[in-house]
Homo-oligomer: A and B are copies of this chain.
Amino acid sequence: MINVGVLGFGTVGSGVVEVIETNGKKIGKRIGEPLNVKYILDYKDFKGTPVENKIVHEFKTILEDPEIQIVVEVLGGIEPAYTYVKKSLLAGKSVVTSNKALVAAHGAELLSIAKDNNINFLFEASVGGGIPIIRALNTSLTADEIEEIDGILNGTTNYMLTKMEEDNAEYEDVLKEAQEKGYAERNPEADVMGYDACRKIAILSSLISGHQVDFEDIYCEGITEITKTDIDYAKKLGYKIKLVAVSKRHFGNHLHAIVAPFMVGKENPIFHVDGVMNAVVVRGNMLGDAMFYGAGAGKLPTASAVVGDIVDEAKNLHNNVMPMWKEETLILDDYASMRRKFFVRVKGTWEAMSKDLKDYFGKDIEPVFLDGRDDEFGFITPIIMEGDYETRSKVFKDVILNRIRVEFYD
């Protein structure tokens, strides 16, 4: 029998127990022996519920029980998760986590401890919920040099942008609706500012580069500045606006990474990823593009990924299967050197402005107009460096209403 201790009985923790209860027989067959949740650490008692006699209030009970081979950390946040996970690994217990903050901050160290102890530290659920992207990168796409990852990694913002587009609604209104439906937190900052997606692309960047990538180093822009009018321009141009997390390799092991709203065309498979769904496009130098699509969050999809990791660990109790990444931080390339097109919205008339704009952005730019709006227009720049866009746009800072990157990742 494989005995597991679950740290935290919140949404994901109760999902993990539900998955093991529902599919336990099949899971036991896959492992080769039964899987048993022996303890659940929570400060509440859950009196009168079926888990009542599994609840413990002291982490020590789990840590010191030699029968516990796998610890499942679903507390979220850095502390006490980090302390508990580290102690578990040092005690020779494999760990599964769904905690992106923990993995983004301490992944390298925890993977290294797991390796030293010939056990495993797995975290499939920390990126893309139910989408099995991490194991695919580690075990399926091993013949390829991964050149680029583009992901819709946050369901809340994707739901909001889809709603704005479909209902022709303003940001504030869809945020309110998303909060009412429970898709967005009361304090929505982590989602709408892009921080959540940023931690996830940092984890994927660490995996493909083999080095710690700090999420604080990734240029990150949320969706708070996106308006109904921007979406109207995008529609007119045949684009959708998506919050995309990009990690792109160039010149060997140099990485560009960015999280920002992008205008995405319908040739790109993520154009069709709407609502709360997530997707990750992986470009391999041999494989070409492959996309992984599914529920990026939610109790059961996330729990399914956690339990999938438990099965993997149970089958590899003393066999380290996860590649490490080095603790030395990879210095990302300056985002100012990334090249792409920008969609720019300008106050005024094309007639009055075109000569000056062409002087700075090239003679081939063409105006885009919205029906019934004669007080502004838009245009798309040629491919230029982010830094160049910044310096040039400063010249027009009094008349530029907004700018959105157009898919061309470099």
Contact = CB atoms under 8 A, between A and B. Distances in A.
Interface in A262-308: 269, 272, 284-295, 298, 300-301, 303-308
Given A132-B136, A136-B140, A304-B284, A26 B290 contact: no
A178 interface: no
Contact of A304 (B26, B272, B287): B287
Contacts of A289: 294-295
Interface residues of A, number: 47
B30 A323 contact: yes
A22 interface: yes
A278 to B, nearest CB: 10
A376 interface: no
A141 interface: yes
Interface string A293-333: 11100101101111110111000000000010000000000
A142 interface: yes
A303 B298 CA distance: 36
A141 B308 contact: yes
B141 A290 contact: no
A182 to B, nearest CB: 17
Contact of A142 (B18, B30, B141): B30
Nearest to A321: B315
B288 A269 contact: no
A23 B139 contact: no
Contact of A19 (B22, B286, B293, B311): B286
A341 to B, nearest CB: 24
Given A136-B136, A290-B292, A291-B293, A23 B144 contact: yes
A288 B300 contact: yes
Interface string A27-62: 100100000000000000000000000000000000
Nearest to A269: B293
A289 B132 CA distance: 12
A139 B138 CA distance: 11
